[in-house]
Amino acid sequence: MRKCKMELDIGIYNIIIHGMCNASMVDDAWDLFCSLSLNKGVKPDVKTYTIMIGGLCKKGSLSEAGMLFRKMGEDGIAPNDCTYNTIIRAQLRGSDISTSVELIEEMKRCGFSADASTINIVMDMLSSGRLDRSFLDMLS
Per-residue pLDDT of the chain (140 residues; tens, 9 = 90+): 456 567 789 999 999 999 999 999 999 999 999 999 887 789 999 999 999 999 999 999 999 999 999 999 999 999 999 999 999 999 999 989 999 999 999 999 999 999 999 999 989 988 998 888 888 788 77
For the entire predicted model, the pTM comes to: 0.89
The pLDDT value given to residue 134: 83
Query: Where does residue 38 rank: exposed (0-12), middle (13-18), buried (19+ CB within 10 A)?
Result: exposed
The pLDDT value given to residue 4: 59
Of how many residues is the chain composed?
140
Q: Is the separation of the CB atoms in 125 and 131 below 8 Å?
A: yes
Closest alpha carbon to 49 in 23, 10, 88 = 10
* Amino acid, single-letter form, for residue 95: S
Closest alpha carbon to 139 in 110, 105, 96, 111 = 105
Dist CA 62 CA 64 (whole Å): 5
